[in-house]
A and B are shown apart, each in its own frame.
Chain A
Amino acid sequence: MIKRLLAVSGVALMALAGQALAAPPDNTVVVGFGADASTFDPAQISSRDNANIAKHIFATLFTVTYEGEVQPYLVDKTAVSEDGLAYTFTLKSGLTCEDGEPLTAEDVAYTFNRAADKANGFTGNTPGFVYTTLGFQSAEVVDELNVKINVKARTSLALGMLAQVYVHCKDSYEKMTLDQASASPIGSGSYRLASWERGSQIVLEKVKDPGTFDTIIFRIIPEASTRTAELIAGNVDIITNVSPDQIEAVNASGTAEVKSVSGTRRMQIGYNLGAGVADLPGAKEIQDPKVRFALQYAVDVPAICEQLLGATCERMTSLVNPPNGNPELQPIPYDPEMAEKLLDEAGYPRDANGVRFTIRLQGPRGRYLNDAAVVQAIGQFLTDVGVQTEVELLEWASVYSPLLRTKTMGPLFFLGQGGVTWNPLYDMSLFSTPDGATNYQSWTDERWFADWALALAAPTPEEARPIINRMLKLFYEEGPWLMLYFQPDHYGVSDRIDWTPRRDEEIELFNAKLAS
């Protein structure tokens, strides 16, 4: 009896195994993400993973290409007023939303004004970041295909920022409650949300071109090693954030490979020059630009990349992503002797114990690629040149992030900040004002901010180029960052799929296809 029961159970398990472990069908691509979407309300979306799913559901006026260029998407023509404060966009004709409703200027104006409406209490990327950067004022309908968007000040960032606003149709969204909008989006893009099992998976179905696959499945797999196992087993086609210690295993699997790109996230050691840490050891010393510059030579950035991040990388020369940097600036090499010489010249010789001064270096744990190991390595590099560095690793959400927001971290602190390739001013906007929220370093150099105003007023980044180059040279020599690297991003890609990752952490599957 028991034997018979075991035999039946075994057969049943084998049958279930056949069903559960089948590879995805040819018309489907499966992506393994670390985090679930939190909402599909276009005005509430804020995280990168969430946006990577939403961009397949919602279309945008403009799009940033793989090469990092801003191109029109829903827009046919663009006209800018002389003062640069009004943009009139002519939409392509024949556009529709997922439910068949024609997509017109009225819908675009509704999209922009809905996100800006404070009564809705939206806190997503569009009202929280795009509108602040853009200086968004209002959107108005000119006629059926023409819509005007008004901004506070001229900015060459406008079109790129508009590539982050998800367009949706007025009639369908006016009928929805906010809860319905969050869970049941009606999009304007190539795919529709077919199902959302929270915490498990999100299934999108194709409704129109562009898009190679009929179905896209985003599976939520938080643990990195589980994601890797699913990729190697052939159950998912693309995974994000492959851990450096698993790259070899994936490449040796014979079923998948790791594709690495130099991302646009700028990793740095910030020098906190503000009042929040003024009384702490080391805070006075790093006020001296010569000290800040000297410490650049103390850290072996290529070794950190190779040993800890599973990638080769070139040290950054400024806060701007390539190819938009100042071409005259060369990466500062690892030269501890030069660091010691410059620190001596700056007036901080080693004392009898071999210590020049002491300082605290704080970093998050688990926020960035191998962050804890990187911070500890940097602490050791600095100690080696006589700057006795006390490393403190902190939990991100409840400890580190509040310290950042109140500018009380450091005096040295490890941080990564996202960037773009389509406009250097976007990357430089972290330092738009001396007391701005993203100026975590409280850098107040007047030369930078005077030039910032000039650069921003230029109609195009090309016209602003001489000013930008001057600013980046200042940042290189006296800036508030110990410059590290652009964070490498490791994607696991199944041999079944032909797909190339982008630099900017965006995952686009429109052009992904089965490998030939």
Chain B
Amino acid sequence: MTFIIRRLLQSLVVIIGVTLITFLALQMSGDPTYLYVSERATEEEIIQTRAALGFDRPLHEQYLTFIGKLVQGDFGNSLSYKRPALGAVLEALPATIELTLFAMMLAIVVAIPLGVAAALNRGTPVDGSIMTVAMAGQSIPSFWLGIMMIMFLGLQMRFLPISGHVPFIMPLVQGDVVRAFSQLPQALYYLIMPGFAVAFYSISRNARLVRSSMLEVLGQDYVRTARAKGISETAVVIRHALRNAWLPVVTMIGLEFGFLLGGVVVVEMVFSWPGIGRLIFNAINQRDIPVVQAAVVILALVFITLNLIVDLIYAKIDPRVKL
């Protein structure tokens, strides 16, 4: 319990830091008043608007006001969407969570068998091929991969949709379970290309990590003992080796979610995915300060929560770790 409280307090400090940096970065890039007035506004109108919005007050006062509203969930109205910024962010969040979870699932489900196969076939062409693909995966930018997939799988082969999104989480949140599950196959179908584009780097990195971790474990005495006891090779790999090789992978998966969240920005643009990455991209382009602030704070909260969960899981699966 002490650990959780300590981590929550640390998280609070992180959140304050995030809000401060976001606030200052956007304020420093020019007087935001101009965003709220028309191109032909007179000087008098500009001054009136600046005073009405509080942009003429000292920065620290503006920040404190911002924090005061933030704790009530009020980030102000989006300049572009003319409605509460938090609402716009929360509306976009489910699409990003769908994409990130799917990518994370790929990063685990594909990477672990590949890493294990490479480790078990060390030095063979199987190992070489897997590591070559993994190297490529860590070298290819996700937006380029996305465009290539659109060209070949979408346009040439007409096998996968080029762009678009079918929601699954949003209908669930709205309580429309029937609709959510009836369109789940379509939702997954639209997820394949963007999910893979986001996940390719992580699949490659995780496969390399699993391989090296497995190689280390496979040389341990207890694995040799297990084999000497006549246990089948499958059982040795799964029950003895992989279980211990799993620990660094779990740590990585925790960080993975944050990494994947960061990676979705470009992929969401390429695949017209209506998520939070695209929202942030557009908001930055339009200097929509309230939306940027709301999105960054929400993402920071998600990231902090996930890290906390991973710490708790880590303690559960590794008896050497005490909370």
Partners in one complex: yes
User: Pick the contact of B185 from A16, A35, A197 — CB < 8 Å?
Assistant: A16
CB distance from A147 to the nearest CB of B (A): 25
- Known contacts A199-B279, A221-B272, A399-B30; A21 and B36 CB within 8 A of each other: no
Closest to B288 in A: A397
Whether the Cβ atoms of B274 and A229 lie closer than 8 Å is: no
| A198, A219, A437: residue with the most chain B Cβ atoms closer than 10 Å | A437
B270: chain A residues within 8 A (beta carbon): 223, 225-226
User: Pick the contact of A220 from B26, B78, B186, B272 — CB < 8 Å?
Assistant: B272
Is residue B316 contacting chain A, with contact meaning CB distance below 8 A? no
- Known contacts A197-B274, A398-B287, A437-B41; A179 and B34 CB within 8 A of each other: no
CB distance from A432 to the nearest CB of B (A): 9
Whether the Cβ atoms of B30 and A402 lie closer than 8 Å is: yes
- Known contacts A397-B287, A438-B40; A226 and B30 CB within 8 A of each other: no
Whether the Cβ atoms of B284 and A397 lie closer than 8 Å is: yes
For window 118-168 of chain A, which residues contact chain B by CB distance below 8 Å?
123, 127-129, 132-133
Whether the Cβ atoms of A128 and B40 lie closer than 8 Å is: yes
| B158, B271, B272, B285: residue with the most chain A Cβ atoms closer than 10 Å | B272
| B39, B150, B278: residue with the most chain A Cβ atoms closer than 10 Å | B39
A397: chain B residues within 8 A (beta carbon): 284-287
- Known contacts A20-B189, A41-B82, A128-B41; A219 and B158 CB within 8 A of each other: no
User: Pick the contact of A39 from B81, B95, B161, B272 — CB < 8 Å?
Assistant: B81
For window 176-190 of chain A, which residues contact chain B by CB distance below 8 Å?
179, 182-183
Is residue A376 contacting chain B, with contact meaning CB distance below 8 A? no
0/1 interface trace, chain B 223-264, chain A, CB 8 Å (1 if under): 000000000000000000000000000000000000000000
0/1 interface trace, chain B 12-52, chain A, CB 8 Å (1 if under): 00000000000000100111001011111110000000000
Is residue A436 contacting chain B, with contact meaning CB distance below 8 A? yes
- Known contacts A21-B161, A39-B82, A179-B83; A229 and B284 CB within 8 A of each other: no
Whether the Cβ atoms of B272 and A200 lie closer than 8 Å is: yes
Whether the Cβ atoms of B82 and A402 lie closer than 8 Å is: no
Is residue A17 contacting chain B, with contact meaning CB distance below 8 A? yes
- Known contacts A233-B154, A402-B34; A396 and B189 CB within 8 A of each other: no
CB distance from A444 to the nearest CB of B (A): 17
Is residue A60 contacting chain B, with contact meaning CB distance below 8 A? no
Is residue A44 contacting chain B, with contact meaning CB distance below 8 A? yes
Is residue A401 contacting chain B, with contact meaning CB distance below 8 A? yes
Complex CA–CA separation, A484 to B91 (angstroms): 43
B214: chain A residues within 8 A (beta carbon): none
Is residue B62 contacting chain A, with contact meaning CB distance below 8 A? no
B158: chain A residues within 8 A (beta carbon): 17, 21, 233
Whether the Cβ atoms of A44 and B40 lie closer than 8 Å is: no
CB distance from A452 to the nearest CB of B (A): 15
Whether the Cβ atoms of B37 and A230 lie closer than 8 Å is: no
- Known contacts A16-B186, A199-B278, A200-B165; A123 and B36 CB within 8 A of each other: yes
B81: chain A residues within 8 A (beta carbon): 38-39
Whether the Cβ atoms of A222 and B185 lie closer than 8 Å is: no
B41: chain A residues within 8 A (beta carbon): 128, 437
Whether the Cβ atoms of B164 and A200 lie closer than 8 Å is: yes
Whether the Cβ atoms of B31 and A199 lie closer than 8 Å is: no
CB distance from A404 to the nearest CB of B (A): 9
Is residue B269 contacting chain A, with contact meaning CB distance below 8 A? yes
A396: chain B residues within 8 A (beta carbon): 285
Complex CA–CA separation, A403 to B78 (angstroms): 22
CB distance from A47 to the nearest CB of B (A): 8
Whether the Cβ atoms of A226 and B274 lie closer than 8 Å is: no
0/1 interface trace, chain A 33-77, chain B, CB 8 Å (1 if under): 001001101001000000000000000000000000000000000
Whether the Cβ atoms of A232 and B155 lie closer than 8 Å is: yes
Whether the Cβ atoms of B190 and A20 lie closer than 8 Å is: yes
Is residue A80 contacting chain B, with contact meaning CB distance below 8 A? no
Is residue B163 contacting chain A, with contact meaning CB distance below 8 A? yes
0/1 interface trace, chain A 197-231, chain B, CB 8 Å (1 if under): 11110000000000000000001111101100110
Complex CA–CA separation, A12 to B185 (angstroms): 9
- What total of chain A residues lie within 8 Å of the partner, measured CB to CB? 48
Complex CA–CA separation, A225 to B279 (angstroms): 19
Is residue A405 contacting chain B, with contact meaning CB distance below 8 A? yes
Whether the Cβ atoms of B272 and A405 lie closer than 8 Å is: no
Complex CA–CA separation, A39 to B82 (angstroms): 7
- What total of chain B residues lie within 8 Å of the partner, measured CB to CB? 52
Is residue B92 contacting chain A, with contact meaning CB distance below 8 A? yes
Is residue A235 contacting chain B, with contact meaning CB distance below 8 A? yes
- Known contacts A16-B186, A21-B158, A199-B279; A221 and B285 CB within 8 A of each other: no
Closest to A199 in B: B274
For window 264-309 of chain B, which residues contact chain A by CB distance below 8 Å?
269-272, 274-275, 278-279, 282, 284-287
Closest to B143 in A: A223
Complex CA–CA separation, A17 to B157 (angstroms): 11
Complex CA–CA separation, A13 to B188 (angstroms): 10
Closest to A225 in B: B147
Is residue A19 contacting chain B, with contact meaning CB distance below 8 A? yes
- Known contacts A219-B164, A233-B162; A398 and B269 CB within 8 A of each other: no
Closest to B84 in A: A179
CB distance from B170 to the nearest CB of A (A): 9
Whether the Cβ atoms of A182 and B40 lie closer than 8 Å is: no
CB distance from B123 to the nearest CB of A (A): 27
Whether the Cβ atoms of A38 and B80 lie closer than 8 Å is: yes
- Known contacts A20-B190, A38-B81, A233-B154; A226 and B272 CB within 8 A of each other: yes
Whether the Cβ atoms of A229 and B151 lie closer than 8 Å is: yes
For window 89-122 of chain B, which residues contact chain A by CB distance below 8 Å?
91-92, 95
Complex CA–CA separation, A128 to B81 (angstroms): 16
- Known contacts A38-B82, A220-B274, A402-B29; A20 and B186 CB within 8 A of each other: yes
A20: chain B residues within 8 A (beta carbon): 161, 164, 186, 189-190
B278: chain A residues within 8 A (beta carbon): 199, 222
A197: chain B residues within 8 A (beta carbon): 167, 274
For window 127-165 of chain B, which residues contact chain A by CB distance below 8 Å?
147, 150-151, 154-155, 158-165
A13: chain B residues within 8 A (beta carbon): 159, 189
- Known contacts A35-B282, A222-B269, A229-B151; A398 and B30 CB within 8 A of each other: yes
Complex CA–CA separation, A39 to B286 (angstroms): 15
B161: chain A residues within 8 A (beta carbon): 20-21
Residues of B in contact with A (beta carbons under 8 Å apart): 26, 29-31, 34, 36-42, 78, 80-83, 88, 91-92, 95, 147, 150-151, 154-155, 158-165, 167, 185-186, 189-190, 269-272, 274-275, 278-279, 282, 284-287
The 7 closest A-B pairs by CB, nearest first: A199-B274, A128-B38, A402-B30, A398-B29, A16-B189, A397-B287, A405-B34
Chain A to chain B contacts (Cβ below 8 Å), 11 pairs: A38-B81, A128-B41, A129-B39, A199-B95, A222-B269, A223-B163, A223-B270, A229-B162, A229-B163, A230-B163, A406-B31
Contacts A229-B151, A230-B163 given; 16 further ones with Cβ under 8 A? A20-B161, A21-B161, A38-B80, A38-B82, A129-B40, A182-B83, A198-B88, A199-B278, A200-B165, A200-B272, A222-B278, A225-B147, A226-B272, A233-B154, A398-B30, A401-B34
